[in-house]
Amino acid sequence: TALKIGMIPADGIGKEVLPAAQRVLEALGSAIPKPEFIPLLAGWEEFNKNGKALPEETIRVLKEECDSAMFGSVSSPSHKVAGYSSPIVALRKHLDLYANVRPVKAVPIPGQPFFKADMVIVRENTECLYIKKETIETNSDGSKIALATRQITSRASERIGKMAFEIALRRGQERQAATDPHAWWKGEPKVTIVHKSNVLSVTDGLFRESVRSIKEGTDKYDGVKMEEQLVDSMVYRMFREPEIFDVAVAPNLYGDIISDGAAALVGSLGLVPSINAGDDFVMGEPVHGSAPDIEGKNIANPIASIRSAALLLSSLGYIEPAAKINAAVDAVLAEGKYLTPDLGGKSSTTDVTDAILKRL
């Protein structure tokens, strides 16, 4: 059977980096079922052409015909435009992609600062303060009070906790499958629960207990250590000693903040991959946006997109082919000969992709 992957390049450099990921997937040959790429429309340009940022046909094909998907990047305008809403946010909702998974792994690039980061941040994607229930009132003295509701449910916390433990297990297997000189995490698989339940004992307390119950309810995760870190000291320790973290799981807002912060540890936005994952579907997506400042010049770094494809494969169970892709990427970075301008090099998107393909 073929691996049916919906390809949604959307806008800007998404159109340049997604084809690079496709070339890499195609080069894996018989290591994975033959990939079949189904091009799909979405984005700001599509909205301006046909009035829909996320056409129904795209959702239908993803749901009915695809096993997974890859998303490029979208150019969302910063002012409000009638009828427009971000297709990536809508896709997460339509496909119930409740987890945002971001591995942050640093490979030393000659002549550049370097941190021993090799961790995965698993962010809850559906609740917390992002349910956007906000109100504002005026007091009798004219001063104002704004309130936001923060929702934490045991259901959403348990499913994100389960995802974190599954990822920790899989990373353990991946480390055994590949001899990786850049696997800075040397210990047993570990999940760090990020919260602030010393202050928010009810909401963060429920998050913490729900995640803990996942490990405590089974022996499946006996090989995975469980620790906790308050969110503020999490930030501090992540920058002081990133090598002490393996998998970190957090409610939506904390996860948003620590994952962007962690991306600063690897040197360029153009290196950080992600997947949006649910129980039935997974979508790879580079963390960066459409980068209008470099669009159309063939200089966008394709690595975030290529690593997103690897992440997609490993979440579908193709661990060794995924490790192969990452090893090829690591080798090209460590060699330092083929780097795009965001990393101080002079190579094009195509040069870097070719160099990775050669290593494969």
- Nearest approach, Cβ of residue 256 and Mg ion (Å): 5
> By CB under 6 A, is residue 300 in contact with ligand NAI?
yes
Among 291, 312, 327, 352, binds ligand NAI (CB under 6 A): 291
From the list ligand NAI, Mg ion, none, pick the one residue 76 interacts with, judged by a Cβ distance below 5 to 8 Å according to partner type: ligand NAI
Q: Should residue 270 be labelled a site residue for ligand NAI when binding is judged by CB under 6 A?
A: yes
Residue 256 contact, options ligand NAI, Mg ion, none, Cβ 5-8 Å cut-off depending on partner type = Mg ion
Give ∠ CA 179-180-183 in degrees, rounded to 5: 130
Binding mask 28-67 for ligand NAI (x = CB under 6 A): ----------------------------------------
Scan residues 227-266 and list those touching Mg ion (CB under 5 A): 256, 260
Largest CA distance in the chain: 72
> 124 or 256: whose CB is closer to Mg ion?
256
CB of 204 closer than 8 Å to CB of 241: no
Question: Is 124 an interacting residue with respect to Mg ion (CB under 5 A)?
Answer: no
| Residue 90 C-beta: closest distance to ligand NAI, Å | 12
User: Looking at beta carbons only, is 123 or 171 nearer to Mg ion?
Assistant: 123
**DSSP characters for 26-69?**
HTTGGGSSPEEEEE---SHHHHHHHS-SS-HHHHHHHHHH-SEE
Token digits of residue 11 = 């806008």
**Alpha-carbon span 331 to 354, nearest angstrom:** 13
Question: What angle (nearest 5°) sits at the alpha carbon of residue 31, between those of residues 26 and 35?
Answer: 40
271 binds, among Mg ion, ligand NAI, none (CB under 5 to 8 A by kind): none
Least distance to ligand NAI from the beta carbon of 129, Å?
19
308 binds ligand NAI (CB under 6 A): no
Sole residue written with tokens 């427009």: 84
76 scored as a contact of ligand NAI (CB under 6 A):
yes
What span, in angstroms and rounded, lies between the C-alpha atoms of 121 and 305?
Answer: 17
Burial of 191 (0-12, 13-18, 19+ CB in 10 A): buried
Are 247 and 168 a contacting pair, CB within 8 Å?
yes
Q: Does 306 bind ligand NAI (CB under 6 A)?
A: no
Which secondary structure element, helix H or strand E, spans residue 171, and what is its range?
helix 154-177
How do beta strands 99-105 and 275-277 pair? antiparallel
75 binds ligand NAI (CB under 6 A): yes
Among 29, 176, 293, 317, binds ligand NAI (CB under 6 A): 293
Query: 164 contacts which partner out of Mg ion, ligand NAI, none, CB within 5 to 8 A by kind?
Result: none
Residue 274 tokens read as 């992600």
Q: Is residue 152 within the footprint of ligand NAI (CB under 6 A)? A: no
- Per partner kind, with CB cut-offs from 5 to 8 A, the member of ligand NAI, Mg ion, none near residue 141 is none
Backbone angles phi, psi at 98, to 5 degrees: -85, -5
Q: Which of 70, 163, 294, 325 is close enough to bind ligand NAI by CB under 6 A?
A: 294
**Residue 289 interface partner, choices Mg ion, ligand NAI, none, CB cut-off 5-8 Å depending on type:** ligand NAI
Q: How far is CA 86 from the centre of its chain?
A: 17
Order of strands, sheet of 118-124, starting from the edge strand that comes earlier in the sequence: 35-39, 3-10, 68-73, 282-284, 275-277, 99-105, 118-124, 247-250, 190-195, 225-230
Binds ligand NAI (CB under 6 A): choice among 301, 308, 347, 348: 301
Interface residues toward Mg ion, by CB under 5 A: 256, 260
Interface residues toward ligand NAI, by CB under 6 A: 13, 17, 73-76, 88, 269-270, 288-294, 300-301, 304, 340, 342
